Structures are given as structure tokens and as C-alpha cells.
Amino acid sequence: MDFLEVVSEAANAVQNRLAAAAICITVLLSTLILFMKIHRINNRSAEKLPPGPPGLPIIGHLHMLGKLPHRKLCLLSRRYGPLMSLRLGSVPTVIVSSAEMAQQFLKNHDHVFSSRPTVRCGKNLFYNSVDMIFSPYGQYWKQVRRISVSELLSTKNLEALRFQREEEVSVMIHSLLEKCARVSNPVVDVSKTVLAVAVDIICRMAFGRKYSDEEAYDNRGFEEMIKEFGFLLGAFDIGDFIPYLGWMDLQGLGRRQKAISRTADAFYEKLIEEHLAQKDVRETRDFVDVLLALSEHNIRRDNIKAILIDMLHAGSDAPSTALEWAMSELLRRPLVMTKAQEELEKVVGLNRKVRESDLPHLPYLQAVVKETLRLYPSAPLLAPHESMESCTVCDYEIPARTRVIVNAWAIGRDPKSWEDAEEFKPERFTESPSSCVDVRGQDFELIPFGSGRRGCPGMQLGMVIVEFVLAQLLHCLDWRLPAEIQGRDLDMTENFGLAIPRAVPLLAIPTPRLAAEALGSSQDQGIK
């Protein structure tokens, strides 16, 4: 190598290093300028915002969320108040942690806080947020909600499809009884059992038929995919809060969202094509048929798939999570389980299974479900709201495009609203002033399904599924924990997600409680 080549290579190396240094300096300067702007804005409005802890440069308070954000935010609210201001990255955020504050945002000022922020999971999982949960407030959202309620979730439709729910719960019971007949003291995965029946119910009601795991989601099955959806919907994505880092996908959430979206898209494409192929021979019309008939009214193929994803995942994940926590608490408290079973025996008798029409006559069972939803709400942090304009709430100025997170988990455990707030006591809903508190969104001490315009439209269906499945499990079977587990030692660790599922599956041993002739066949609905 001659002298000129050596000089040339040295010059190139210096040039590359200078270029790299220039890039680093540019990034640092850009970050510093952004931080100074955010800091200046925050200083200008700090006196008008609700109180909150000091944050860090760039990330704000993201580091404070931890693995279980609903718990961390609850602890912070006890120090800084039920209306707390945070900065998550560059996103101004207000945390609501009391019934009084929830009423302010979800009722008194609901017209301002009814929209949704733009988030990556809405883009990747719901075809640019054209579903019901993540679409912004406007005419499209109103249209989708109206269609979903009128064609599937109305009281009339729920009653018309009652026999499907009763059949699927009957099939579940007979599957458990078969296990009892084959094996003495079989250990049953209760978590898997209740998720499976919830999926079967929603599939039959919305899609017209059940789908096996081999048919669904590229043979990966419903359980794995619903858990993945639940995790991704509940995760705090750094890219949503620090946009210029979004392209890096530091947590890998974007890649996971796209991967599961491709798998889900293939399943829903198959489902839609199946309906199109059979539309001339189908005797009854289901929810998919209704959506396909509306394809000329701004309801396109991607819109249909996004709405169906809402129905399946929200409609099965939330009820099954509530059921596994209800059974967990009852297994820890045999006296409470016995009391619920005695009520069932008195109202239903021991000569038949439970019918949905029995549910209004089971106040203690309903209290068990309410108490479960108080401690383990369907969504611990309600889907985020976003202010559409500036608004004054309790003398605080909430700017436009502020994100609002309602901590339903903290509200349900607020000692100012609930005596012995951390204890599982269904009697509070039958023998105390709290007995009149309901879950339908009007009593803000208990809002597991949200409230106001963006309250969950599937609340009635969710409650029916939870109450009916729980009643049938308790009436047809006795339950106990495996011998090596004592009730108070049962692992109650939770995972974070859209709901808060158990970290470990709930295992229990069933034994038949009713005589064989009272149970009937797996297709017997007990309606005749």
C-alpha cells in the first residue's frame, strides 16, 4: 500500500468519525431542545394542573409504572391525591383514582373526555383503530356502537340467544363430569375451562358456530392468542409516549402486534369467506352476516374484522378472568362457597341444573360476582380517554389532548368508599348500605365496565356469562383445592394486561353434587 492510499484511508476514517460525532451531537441537541420545550410548557401550566410527583427528563414518570401499573398508580394517588398529574414521556396524563373524580370525568364532563388517543396497538391490531374500543369519538364510532348494540348486545337479542349460552355451559359441565367418572379426584385447570366456555359462547352468538383450536389462529388456538391480545392491549408502549423512539420498538411490542395481527387476520378472513359462501343456504343470520350486509355503509372488510376482534377478545377475556378470580376467592373461603350453594339449592333445587331465568332470584350469588368485580375489575385501568378540548375540572385546567386514565382497580379498593376494602366480603352487597351499589356505571364506587359514552356496551352479556357459568359450576359440582394447597396459601399473584388474569392457572378438584338424572344430557338446557 503506497503513501497516498494510507493517507486516503486515514482521511476516510476521520471523516466517518466526524460524521458519527455530528449525528450524536444532533440527536443530543434535538433531545435537549425537546426537553426544554416540554419543561417550559410544564412550568407555564404547573400551577393549573393537578398535583403529581417530580418526573425525569424525557421519560417523565414512565419509570414509576412498574410491572403492575394499577397498583403503582394507586400508591402514588394515596400520596398526591385522587386526581393526579403525570407526564408519560411527552404525553400529559391525568390519573383518576376515586369515585368522585371518576364522576367528574365520566359524567359531568363526559362530552369532553369521550375520545381515544392514537396508540400503536390500535393501528396494528385493529386496522388503524376502526374498532369500537380504540376509534376516536365521532360519527363512525357512534355508528359502530349502534350496530353492535342493536344487532347483538341488546336485551332482546341476548334473550333470543339464551339457549346457545345454556347449551355451551351444559357441555362444559358434562365435560367435567366425564373427567370425574374417568379419574378419581381429577385436577381441573379452572382457568382454561372458563376461558374455553366463554370463547364458545361468543363464537356461537357472534360467528354462528364454535371453532376448534385446530381451526383458529393458525392452529395456535384461542387461549394463547387471547392471552397475547390481552397482554398487548394492556402494555404501556414507550413508542406511544416518546414518539421519536417509536421506530426503534425498544420493547418489541410493535413486532408482536404485527405478528399476531397477521395470524388473526387469516382467521377472520376465513370466517368472513365462510359466511359469504353460505349466505344463500343459512337458515339464520348472525352478527357477521349483519356486518356484511352493511358493507355499503362505510363498513368495509377491515372494519368488520376489527369489530369482530373486539367482540371475541373483550367478550371472552373479561368474563373468564372474572370467573377465575371468583372461583379463587371461593376456594379460599369454603364458608362463602357453601352459602352460595345453599342459596342455589333453595332457589333451584337439587333436581335440575340452573337456568338463566334463575339468576335474578340469586342475590347472594350476584353479590359474589359484584365483590369479585370490585376487587378484580374487568379492566383495572379503563381504556384511556383523551380530552377533545381544554376543560376545568375541580379548579384544575386540563389541556386539550390530555390523556385520562381511570384506575378502576384503585376505586374499587378505596377505603373512603368501602369498609374493609381489601377483604372479600359479598355480604357488603346484601347486608349493608352498599347493597344498592350496582356495576352498570351509575354508581362510581364500582365501575368495572366503565361509564358514560365509552362505557362497555357488552356489560349485560358479560354479567350474564359470569353469573350463569359460576352458578352452574357451584350448583352441579363441589370444589376443593388439591391437598397440598391450603386456602389462605393459594397463589393470588396477578399478571397485568387488558384484564388482570392470574399469574398461574387455578387448579381445583370437582366432584358431582347433583344426581345423574338431574344433570340430564350435555344438550339438555332445562328450558322445556
**What does the pLDDT look like over 259-310, one tens digit per residue?**
999 999 999 999 999 999 988 777 788 999 999 988 766 789 999 999 999 9
49 domain-assigned: no
| Residue 431: predicted pLDDT | 84
Among 437-446, 487-496, 512-521, the range scoring the smallest mean pLDDT is 512-521
Q: What pLDDT is stored for residue 94 in this prediction?
A: 98
Could you tell me if residue 21 is inside a domain?
no
> Comparing 142 with 34, which gets the higher pLDDT?
142
What pLDDT score was predicted for residue 3? 37
Residues 6 or more apart whose Cβ sits within 8 Å of residue 225: 216, 217, 260, 263, 264
* 526 pLDDT higher than 50: no
Say what percent of the chain tops pLDDT 90: 80
- Give the residue with greater pLDDT, 292 vs 14: 292
> Is residue 37 over pLDDT 90?
no
- Which is more confidently placed, 526 or 110? 110
| Residue 58 CB coordination number (10 Å) | 17
Q: In the structure grid, which three cell numbers stand for residue 338, read together?
A: 357453601
Is residue 378's pLDDT more than 90? Answer: no
Query: Which tens digits make up the pLDDT trace of 146-176?
Result: 999 999 999 999 999 999 999 999 999 999 9
Give the pLDDT mean for 57-86. Answer: 97
State the pTM of this model. Answer: 0.90
Average pLDDT, rounded, for the chain: 90
Instruction: Quick: pLDDT tens for 182-222.
Output: 999 999 999 999 999 999 999 999 999 999 888 888 888 99
Q: Which domain holds residue 137?
A: 68-519
Closest CA to 86 of 103, 69, 62: 62
Neighbours of 20 (CB within 10 A): 10
Report if residue 150 sits inside a domain. yes
Q: How confident is the model at residue 39 (pLDDT cuts 50, 70, 90)?
A: low
Interval 92-112 mean pLDDT:
98
Cell of 281: 343456504
pLDDT at residue 30, rounded to an integer: 54
Residue tagged 376505586 (cell numbers): 411
Q: How many domains does the chain have?
A: 1
Render the burial of 96-112: b for 16+ CB within 10 Å, e for the rest: bbbbbbbbbbbeebbeb
Cell of 515: 344426581
CATH classification of the domain holding 90: 1.10.630.10
CA 481-327-478 angle, 5° bins: 55
DSSP 113: S
pLDDT of 36 higher than 70: no
Query: Do the annotations mark residue 121 as ligand-binding?
Result: no
Q: Is 87 helix (H, G, I), strand (E, B) or coil?
A: strand
Using DSSP's 3-state secondary structure scheme, residue 195 falls into helix
Bigger pLDDT: 28 or 482? Answer: 482
Lowest mean pLDDT among 50-59, 74-83, 147-156, 517-526: 517-526
Higher pLDDT, 205 or 7: 205
Q: Is residue 141 part of a domain?
A: yes
Q: Report yes or no on 235 lying in a domain.
A: yes
Judge whether residue 19 has pLDDT over 80. no
Residues 155/287, Cβ–Cβ less than 8 Å:
no
- Amino acid 23: pLDDT: 53
Give the pLDDT of residue 279: 82
Q: Once rounded to an integer, what is the mean pLDDT over residues 455-464?
A: 96
Q: Which amino acid makes up residue 142?
A: K
Residue 8 lies in a domain: no
Alpha helices in 477-519 (DSSP H): 516-519
- What digits encode the pLDDT tens for the residues 405-459? 999 999 999 999 999 999 999 999 998 777 789 999 999 999 999 999 999 999 9
Within a domain: residue 73? yes
pLDDT computed for residue 8 by the predictor: 47
DSSP 382: P
Task: Give domain status of residue 23, yes or no.
Answer: no
Q: What digits encode the pLDDT tens for the residues 432-443?
A: 777 789 999 999
Given this model, what pLDDT does residue 10 score?
A: 44
∠ CA 452-455-461, nearest 5°, is 135
Contacts of 504 (CB under 8 A, 6+ apart): 491, 493
Is 80 exceeded by the pLDDT of residue 362? Answer: yes
